[in-house]
Structure 1
Amino acid sequence: MNTKVQDIRIESNQDVPEFVFLQNENARQIKSDEEAIQVANTLVERFKKNASYRDQNRLLPLEEIVEYSQSGLWGINIPKQYGGAQVKHRTLSQVIRTLASADPALTQISENHLSFLEQVRLDATEEQKKLIYQAVLNGQRLGNALSERGGRTVTDLTTRIIKNEKNYIVSGKKFYATGAILAHWVYVVGLDENGEELTALIPHYADGLSIINDWSGFGQRSTASGTVILDQIPVDAEYVIKTGAGGSSINLVGTISQLIHSSIDAGIAHAAIEDTIEFVQKYTRPWIDADQERAVDDQFTQAAIAELKIKLHAAEALLDRAGDFIDRALESLTEEKANAATLAVAEAKVLSAEIAILASNKLFELSGTRSALSELNLDRHWRNARIHTLHDPVRWKYKLIGEYYLTGKHLPRHPWS
C-alpha cells in the first residue's frame, strides 16, 4: 500500500490526484466470461486488504478504482461488435458478488457505470456508442449525477439540459452521485425545455462542474455518494443522449441495475458469514451452559451457520437464475420476457437483501462481545448492508411480486424496482 496516497482526503473534485484520471489505452481487454471471473478472483485480496481501513477513515479507494477499471471489468458488458466481452448476466452478477465481498463500496461505484452502458446500447447514436465504448475499453470510468433531493419522489428532476444555437447548457444540483468524483465522465440526467429527458456526458475537468465529497452515511462510506453542482456547463450535441431515442419502450436498464445492486448485497452477506466463521473458529469462547471445549462445537452456533449458508446459497442461485432470464429476454425482447426477467431479479433481490442484513447482524450474536470492539470494525458489514438495501426496499418487492402472482400485473422496470 502506498500510505501517502491511501491517506489522501478528498473534499471536492479539485482534490483528486491526477493519476486517477490518466488515460491508459493499454487497459486489459477481457474476451470471455471465464476470463472475467478469473480477473475478479485475482483482485479480491488486494481490494479487501485495506477496505476496513478506508471505511474507518472515510477514505476513497483511489488506487483501487484505477486498478479496477484498468482490469477490464468495467467493459465486460459492452457488446462484442464494439470490442467488449458481452458476458452473460449471471457472470456479471458473479463478478460483482466476488468483488463486493472484498469492498462493496467499489462495486457500488461501478454499478452506475455498468448500468449506463446498457442505456448507451439502447439510446445512443452509432457515433456515440463507438466513442463511449472505446473510452471505457481504454479504462475510463462513467459516474452518475442522477438523483436529486427535495422532490416528491426519487424520479423528480429540476436539472435542466437546454439547447441553444450552439450546444446544450446543463444546470442543476444532484446528490447521491456515487463515484462521480472519481469518474472521467459524469453522466447527468435532466429535462429539456419541453420536459423531455436527456442525458449529458460531462468531462471531469469541465468548467462549472463541482463535485463535493459530502456523503455522511454511516455505511458505504467510501462510495463518495455526495453532491454535484452543475453551473451552466456547455455540452456539445455529440455528448447528449435522448432517453428513448432507440425507439423501444421496453428495456431492461432498471432490471440490470437491480441485478447488480442485489449482487452487492449478496457479496456483503458472503463477507459477513466468512468473518463470522473465522472469528468463531479463532476467538469465540463456548457458552457457559454449552458443555463444550470449543465454540465451533456449539450446536446452536452450528445450526445458525448452516442457516446463513443455506440462505446465501439460495440468494446466489436466484441471482444466477435472474441473470439467465435477462439473457433470454434480450435475445428477442418482448413485454412478457421483460417482465419475467424483472420478476426473477426482484425475487433474487428479496433473498439477497435479507441475507445481507441477517448475516451481518448474526455475526455479533454468534461471535460474542469481543467482536463488537471498534478496532475490529466488523460492524461495517451491517452498516454497509443496512445503507445499501435502502436503495430499493424489500417491502415493495414483496408487494409487487405478490401482486403479479395474484393479478398478473407486471412489475415496474426502473432502477428502484
Structure 2
Amino acid sequence: MSIPESPQAASARNAPLPRLPDPERVNRIADDAQALAVARTLAARIAPGASRRDRERELPWDELDLWSESGLGAITVPREYGGADVSFATLAEVFTILCAADPAFGQIPQNHFGVLGVLRETGSTQQKTRFYGEVLAGRRLGNAGPERRSAAAATILHGSTRLASTPHGLRLTGQRFYSTGALFAHRVPARATDDTGRAVQVWVPRDAPGLTVIDNWSSFGQRTTASGTVIFDNVPVDPGDVLPIWQLADRPGLTGPVSQLIQAAIDVGIGEAAVADAIAFVRGHARPWIDSGVARAADDPYVIADIGRLQIDLHAAQEVLRDAGHTLDAIAAHTVDAQASARASVAVAGAKVLSTRLALEASEKLFELAGSAATRAAHNLDRHWRNARAHTLHDPLRWKLHLLGNYHLNHVLPARHAWN
C-alpha cells in the first residue's frame, strides 16, 4: 500500500541528488597513521566554516565531497577487499578529530560505519565485493533511522516498514525518521520486516524511484546533520541489496558497541572544542571579576582551577574512550561470544558516561568562565551546548549507569542492540 505524499515530500523530490565522487580523485588510505593524518587535514579545512554553517543552517555538501575524496569512508573496509581495516581505537579518534572541528559534519558518517559493520557480519562475498567497492570509490552510506512512536512502533526496535514480495518483484514501503546522513548518501540502508516476519536491511540506491528524503530536521543542535524523514513508497528492490540482519539477533557481536564507541567519540569532540573555546575566550576577551585583584581573567585563581578541572575531565574522557577502542580491538581478534560482547558493551558504556558529562559540562562552563560577553550572537558559542545537549540525548545516560551497575553488581549481561 502506498503512503500518501505530502506537499513537502513532493517538493523534496526536486532536490538535487548527492554528486557522485570521481574515483580518480578518491584517496586510498593504507593504514591507521595515514587515516589520522588525513582526518586532521580534513578537520583543518572544515573547521573555519563550522560556526557559519550552524548559524545559517548551511548544509555541508561541499565538505562532504571533500570527505569522499579523502578516502576516510573506507577506513574500516577489510584489507582483503582493498581497505585499511583500521583499529576501533583509530576509528574513534578519527571521529573525535572531525567532531572537534564540526560535530554536525562529524556525525553525518556515523551510520556509514554502522552499516558497514552490519555488512561485515551478514553480507555475502558478492555483496561485500560490490558494496565495499562502492565505498572505496568514495560513495557515502546514510541510514533510514527508527520510526516515530506510533501504535505500530512503540519503541525504537519496532517498526512498520515492510519488504514485500509482489508479482513485480520486491517492494519496500515505510517511513523513517532520525535518518542522519540519508540526505547526503548514495545508498540509504533501512531496516524492514520481510514476508516471513524476519528483520532485513535494504541498501536502497538514493536515486531509486519511490524514495524521498525530506530535510525536515529542526533541532536546536546538530542542525546540519539533516537527520529528517525518509519515505519508501513502493520502492523496487534488487534482491542482492538485502542483508539478512535477522541472523544477528541471537549472535553475539560488536555492532552495538562500535556504534556506541562512535557516539562517545562525537561527544568527546564536542567537549574538546568547548574547552578550547573557553580557554581562548578567557585569554583574549574575558574580564577579571572585580574582587579578584588581578588584571587578566586568565590570572583569576578560581578560573584557573576550573580550567584545570575541565582539563582533567577532558583527559579522562579521552583516555577511557581510547581504552574502550582498544578493548574492542582485543575482543575482535578472537571469536566473540556472549561474555566478550558484554565486555565490549560495558567498556563503551563507561566511555559514553564520561563523554556525555564532559560535553555538557564543558559547553556550560564555557559561559561561566568567559562571562556575559561570550553570550553575544556574533560568537555563536552556544552551539557547543546546543550540539552537546542534542547529541547526548541519543541514548539515556541513566541507562548506561544502570547497565554498568547491573553488570558489576549482579553479573547481568547487557541487552544486545545498537544502543549498547
TM-score by length of 2: 0.94
Q: Does 251-260 or 161-170 show the bigger shift?
A: 161-170
C-alpha distance in 1, partners of 2:188/2:12? 12
Write out per-residue CA displacement over residues 267-315 of structure 1, whole angstroms, 9 at most, x where no aligned residue.
0000000000000000000000100010000111111111111111111
* Residues 202 and 19 (structure 1), Cα distance of their counterparts in 2 relative to 1, 3 Å cut: closer
Match of 1:39 in 2: 38
Unaligned runs of 5+ in 2: 1-8
Q: Contact 1:12/1:181 (CA < 8 Å) preserved in 2? A: no
Give the SS at the match of 1:21: coil
C-alpha distance in 1, partners of 2:15/2:379? 29
C-alpha distance in 2, partners of 1:330/1:167? 38
C-alpha distance in 2, partners of 1:261/1:31? 25
Q: Contact 1:12/1:213 (CA < 8 Å) preserved in 2? A: no
* Residues 36 and 15 (structure 1), Cα distance of their counterparts in 2 relative to 1, 3 Å cut: farther
Give the SS at the match of 1:233: strand
2:376 is the alignment partner of 1:376: no
Give 1:158's aligned amino acid.
S
C-alpha distance in 2, partners of 1:11/1:183? 19
Q: 1:155: how far off? A: 1.2
Q: Contact 1:12/1:211 (CA < 8 Å) preserved in 2? A: no
From 234, 237, 244, the equivalent of 2:239 is 237
Percent of residue pairs identical: 43
Q: 1:341: how far off? A: 1.4
Give 1:394's aligned amino acid.
L
C-alpha distance in 2, partners of 1:402/1:351? 15
Give 2:235's aligned amino acid.
I
* Residues 11 and 108 (structure 1), Cα distance of their counterparts in 2 relative to 1, 3 Å cut: farther
Q: How does 1:99-114 map to 2 (within 5 A)?
A: 99-114=98-113
Match of 1:76 in 2: 75
From 356, 367, 371, the equivalent of 2:370 is 367
Write out per-residue CA displacement over residues 127-178 of structure 1, whole angstroms, 9 at most, x where no aligned residue.
0011111100100001000310022211111100112355311000011111
C-alpha distance in 2, partners of 1:19/1:260? 24
Match of 1:184 in 2: 186
* Residues 165 and 329 (structure 1), Cα distance of their counterparts in 2 relative to 1, 3 Å cut: farther
Q: 1:40: how far off? A: 0.7
Q: CA RMSD in A?
A: 1.6
Match of 1:3 in 2: none
Q: Contact 1:28/1:71 (CA < 8 Å) preserved in 2? A: yes
Give 1:71's aligned amino acid.
S
Write out per-residue CA displacement over residues 216-254 of structure 1, whole angstroms, 9 at most, x where no aligned residue.
000000000001111000101011111144797111101
Give 1:36's aligned amino acid.
A
Match of 2:131 in 1: 132
Give the SS at the match of 1:183: coil
Match of 2:324 in 1: 322
Match of 1:7 in 2: none
Give 2:417's aligned amino acid.
H
Give 1:320's aligned amino acid.
R
C-alpha distance in 2, partners of 1:32/1:11? 44
C-alpha distance in 1, partners of 2:329/2:246? 21
Match of 1:5 in 2: none
Give 1:321's aligned amino acid.
D
Give 1:228's aligned amino acid.
V
Match of 1:406 in 2: 409
Q: Contact 1:12/1:210 (CA < 8 Å) preserved in 2? A: no
Match of 2:361 in 1: 358
C-alpha distance in 2, partners of 1:49/1:337? 42
* Residues 247 and 390 (structure 1), Cα distance of their counterparts in 2 relative to 1, 3 Å cut: closer
Aligned residues: 408
Write out per-residue CA displacement over residues 9-40 of structure 1, whole angstroms, 9 at most, x where no aligned residue.
x9965455456334534411101000000001
Q: 1:327: how far off? A: 1.0
Q: Does 328-337 or 390-399 show the bigger shift?
A: 328-337
C-alpha distance in 2, partners of 1:207/1:17? 14
Q: How does 1:187-198 map to 2 (within 5 A)?
A: 187-198=189-200
Match of 1:62 in 2: 61
Match of 2:315 in 1: 313
Q: Does 119-128 or 51-60 show the bigger shift?
A: 51-60
Q: Contact 2:144/2:188 (CA < 8 Å) preserved in 1? A: yes
Give the SS at the match of 1:144: coil
Q: How does 1:325-336 map to 2 (within 5 A)?
A: 325-332=327-334, 333-336=336-339
Q: Contact 1:30/1:73 (CA < 8 Å) preserved in 2? A: yes
Match of 1:392 in 2: 395
Q: Contact 1:11/1:213 (CA < 8 Å) preserved in 2? A: no
Match of 2:115 in 1: 116
Q: 1:413: how far off? A: 2.6
Give 1:154's aligned amino acid.
I
From 152, 155, 167, the equivalent of 1:153 is 155
Give the SS at the match of 1:131: helix
Q: 1:194: how far off? A: 2.3
Q: Does 193-202 or 122-131 show the bigger shift?
A: 193-202
* Residues 172 and 25 (structure 1), Cα distance of their counterparts in 2 relative to 1, 3 Å cut: farther
C-alpha distance in 2, partners of 1:272/1:234? 45
C-alpha distance in 2, partners of 1:398/1:12? 44
Q: Does 263-272 or 298-307 show the bigger shift?
A: 298-307
Q: Contact 1:11/1:212 (CA < 8 Å) preserved in 2? A: no
Q: Contact 1:209/1:230 (CA < 8 Å) preserved in 2? A: yes
Give the SS at the match of 1:200: strand
From 240, 249, 252, the equivalent of 1:250 is 252
* Residues 12 and 318 (structure 1), Cα distance of their counterparts in 2 relative to 1, 3 Å cut: farther
Give 2:392's aligned amino acid.
T
* Residues 279 and 411 (structure 1), Cα distance of their counterparts in 2 relative to 1, 3 Å cut: same
